[in-house]
């Protein structure tokens, strides 16, 4: 996997993920809890077969997931909350927590509040304007909807447009976060703009919006990549003071890019598969991908490949081989030199395109229903 | 007047005004311009007789008022922008810039944007909640409307309710203010909450809202007490970068309280006359007021009183003696020992009550029309 002992260059913050990521160390450093087999058993009791992302520990860490499950057993439901910073097109890596949220929505009947942070992306990027982030808020919502979320249980919040819904809760939160705390949690500097300084309060607000809309006081469960954790630590401190449950979290790994190391990132488009990529583009990116193969076919046949460093293998692991047995077979055949990289690339290309073709059709249809998913007043 | 050479204790910031205020020093310290006789002449050309508050230099300082008048001559109108922090009831001191805004609205046909900062007051006061500030936003708007503003030219913005109108402009502003600049301008500390840190961007937004609503790019003229100046310095730096005119300002003095020195302040209710005070309460406050009188009537008849330090005299000067000649007479008769404090108090009590009685009636009627003054989308 992408974890490594040689991780002195690892940087994981809400705005930057670089270097090889050591997930065990993140659990220790961030002070979160590993997802234990005990918790997985509790989940299986409710959902039947474990979702691939739990089975493979792509979701590997949590805060208060046990509490949420206990409350659920006692009759208190939960809502899901996740989001997206709409600065550009969605790539496959973004879909991971969304697909998992969809699974939880279906199995637990949970509402999803989904925040499009068009304000944040504007504030933190010098070179993009609000038209840009609002455009991508729309575009990215199409990708979300295309995954199959139900409109009666899915509430997309566009920050700039829906600030009236968030603002009173945001103020209650902001009043309870000093600049000092924000600086320590988010690494703000004197040169940080005051919009950015305020913004963590806006990211926290959807944790508590369900009560405002329905009167029900239930916890929010946040599926998100672990780099977002600092936001929720501050929010968790404040929640009880405002009479809410602490938001619980379930943390996933980063889908590696097609290069060598590092998460899939829109800032490196050649190593990322975007949902709107054409088959030609997908083909080029896959053919140029970093693998665990050897310099020559002969050598690979002799000594085998290294799936643990192979970006193509990660795609099967994360998304495109649901059958554990087949995944294991692929891994072993690679190690034994029985398959070469071209074969895996060809197979991934086929599966990825099949997925994207279907996704793009659903995404087109989403244009007709997107308003049904917009949070209502 | 309240200015003094002995002003080492003078503190004037947007959140604190204490000590004897030296207005000439404020012009120097804040780097604003005095209102010259040349500017007054230009105004008289347009308005006829000077308003009492200009005639007596209650409005004494400005930024870019000359530019606004020049643009007006060339056919570019301006809008007015002022506001109120609704943490409690309105006192007579608050009415001074409002009455002046009303005069400018009438003489120049200018729209008034009026910001009720229910968010700010919540953020900066530990002990009040949003219900409190929203309640006073409503109550204070009644006082504004009671003064005679026209609904088709007066647009009250309630920050919490109308944040959707302000937010995109606010983001554009916030992105261009670093924490460092905010700290230097507003005295923020590490212990300041992040809502307060962000808030100056919200206060700046109404300067630019007219263009969003109408498409017209005209300057805003801000009549306000001079303690609010730091807000606008930062806003003025940003305006040209966003394609707006710099907001111009016209600064007024603080109506002194009924105690000895210091501005009228809601935090010292016994030295402030509130618009809803009953005649009995007004009588008590006036009778207890600090004057320039002498310890005994005999001494006062002999050596005269000192109008320049008398809080009762200030009331005539600021609001309740429009006739300069009569004001001058009152001052001279006091200095000569020809009148005693009781006479002035009696007369002020009479005029103040007449004003309040009428104001309270209009304020009651304002309840039926308050929605007409709420800014429209």
Domain boundaries, chain B: 19-253, 269-364
pTM: 0.92
Residue of B nearest to A176 (CA): B193
Q: Which two tokens stand for residue A89?
A: 């097109």
* Residue A154 C-alpha, separation from nearest chain B C-alpha, in angstroms: 22
Is B338 touching A (CB cutoff 8 A)? no
Helices (H), chain B: 23-30, 37-47, 52-55, 65-73, 92-108, 118-124, 130-146, 159-174, 179-186, 194-204, 209-214, 229-238, 279-287, 297-303, 311-315, 324-335, 341-369
Residues of chain B positioned with their CB less than 8 A from the CB of A167: 119, 160, 163
What mean pLDDT is predicted for residues A341-364? 97
B158: region left, alpha or beta (phi > 0 left; psi from -120 to 50 alpha) = beta
What mean pLDDT is predicted for residues A194-202? 97
- Alpha carbons B302 and B143: distance in angstroms, whole number: 43
Reply yes or no on whether the pLDDT at B272 is more than 80. Answer: yes
**Please, what is the Cα angle at A208 between A103 and A165, to 5 degrees?**
105
pLDDT at B202: 98
pLDDT at A121: 97
Cross-chain residue pair B200–A194, CB shorter than 8 Å: yes
A77, A108 in Cβ contact below 8 A?
A: yes
CATH fourth-level superfamily of A11-258: HUPs (3.40.50.620)
pLDDT at A39: 96
Is B375 touching A (CB cutoff 8 A)? no
A64: region left, alpha or beta (phi > 0 left; psi from -120 to 50 alpha) = left
Residue of A nearest to B171 (CA): A195
Q: Which tens digits make up the pLDDT trace of A67-91?
A: 999 999 999 999 999 999 999 999 9
Question: Whats the size of chain B, residue-wise?
Answer: 377
What mean pLDDT is predicted for residues B242-253? 96
* Residue B153 C-alpha, separation from nearest chain A C-alpha, in angstroms: 25
Please tell me which of the candidates A119, A175, A194 has its beta carbon nearest to residue B122: A175
Measuring CA to CA, which residue among B153, B144, B76 is closest to residue B113?
B153
> Can you give A62-102 as a three-state secondary structure string?
EECHHHHHHHHHCCCCCEEEEEECCCCCCEHHHHHHHHHHH
Is A191 touching B (CB cutoff 8 A)? yes
The model's confidence at residue A21, banded by pLDDT at 50, 70 and 90, is confident
Q: Which residue has the tokens 């209502």?
A: A376
Q: Which tens digits make up the pLDDT trace of A209-244?
A: 999 999 999 999 999 888 888 778 899 999 999 999
Reply yes or no on whether the pLDDT at B13 is more than 70. Answer: no
CA torsion angle A286 A291 A293 A296 (round to 10): 50
Q: Give the count of Cβ contacts less than 8 A between chain A and B.
A: 110
- Alpha carbons B338 and B330: distance in angstroms, whole number: 9
Is A364 touching B (CB cutoff 8 A)? no
**What is the CATH architecture of B19-253?**
3-Layer(aba) Sandwich (3.40)
Is B180 touching A (CB cutoff 8 A)? yes
DSSP B271: G
Give A188-217 as a DSSP string: --TTSBHHHHHHHHHHHGGGGHHHHHHS--
The model's confidence at residue A298, banded by pLDDT at 50, 70 and 90, is very high
- Alpha carbons A198 and A178: distance in angstroms, whole number: 10
SS3 B238: helix
What mean pLDDT is predicted for residues B318-340? 96
Please report the ipTM that was assigned to this predicted complex: 0.91
Q: Tell how far CA A228 is from the center of its chain.
A: 9
Residue of B nearest to A134 (CA): B168
Measuring CA to CA, which residue among B292, B299, B296, B295 is closest to residue B334?
B292
Cross-chain residue pair A123–B175, CB shorter than 8 Å: yes
A84 phi, psi to nearest 5 deg: -155, 135
What mean pLDDT is predicted for residues A266-284? 91
Q: Which residue has the tokens 């206990």?
A: A70
Look at the domain A269-364 and name its fold.
Tyrosyl-Transfer RNA Synthetase (1.10.240)
Residues of chain A positioned with their CB less than 8 A from the CB of B235: none
pLDDT at B229: 84
pLDDT at A12: 64
């Amino acid at each position: 996997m992408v974890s490594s002992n040689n991780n002195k260059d690892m940087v994981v913050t809400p705005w930057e993920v670089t270097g090889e990521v050591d997930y065990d160390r993140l659990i220790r450093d961030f002070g979160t809890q590993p997802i234990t087999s005990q918790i997985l058993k509790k989940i299986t009791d409710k959902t039947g077969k474990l979702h691939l992302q739990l089975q493979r520990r792509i979701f590997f860490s949590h805060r208060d997931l046990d509490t949420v499950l206990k409350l659920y057993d006692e009759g208190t439901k939960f809502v899901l909350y996740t989001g997206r910073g709409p600065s550009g097109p969605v790539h496959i890596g973004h879909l991971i927590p969304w697909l998992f949220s969809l699974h939880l929505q279906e199995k637990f009947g949970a509402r999803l509040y989904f925040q499009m942070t068009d304000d944040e992306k504007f504030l933190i990027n010098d070179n993009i304007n609000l038209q840009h982030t609002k455009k991508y808020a729309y575009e990215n919502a199409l990708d979300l909807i295309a995954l199959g979320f139900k409109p009666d249980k899915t509430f997309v919040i566009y920050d700039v447009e829906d600030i009236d819904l968030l603002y009173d809760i945001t103020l209650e939160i902001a009043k309870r976060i000093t600049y000092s705390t924000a600086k320590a949690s988010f690494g703000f500097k004197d040169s940080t703009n005051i919009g950015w300084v305020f913004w963590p309060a806006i990211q926290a607000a959807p944790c508590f919006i369900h009560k405002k809309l329905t009167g029900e006081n239930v916890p929010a469960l946040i599926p998100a990549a672990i780099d977002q954790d600092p936001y929720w630590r501050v929010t968790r401190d404040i929640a009880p003071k405002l009479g809410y449950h602490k938001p619980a979290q379930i943390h996933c790994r980063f889908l590696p890019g097609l290069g060598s190391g590092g998460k899939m990132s829109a800032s490196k488009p050649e190593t990322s598969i975007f949902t709107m990529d054409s088959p030609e583009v997908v083909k080029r990116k896959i053919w140029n991908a970093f693998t665990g193969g050897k310099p020559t076919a002969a050598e690979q046949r002799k000594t085998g490949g290294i799936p643990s460093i192979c970006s193509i293998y990660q795609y099967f692991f994360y998304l495109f081989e649901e059958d554990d047995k087949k995944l294991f077979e692929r891994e072993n055949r690679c190690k034994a030199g029985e398959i070469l990289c071209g074969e895996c690339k060809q197979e991934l290309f086929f599966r990825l395109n099949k997925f994207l073709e279907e996704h793009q059709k659903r995404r087109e249809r989403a244009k007709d229903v997107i308003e049904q998913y917009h949070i209502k007043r």
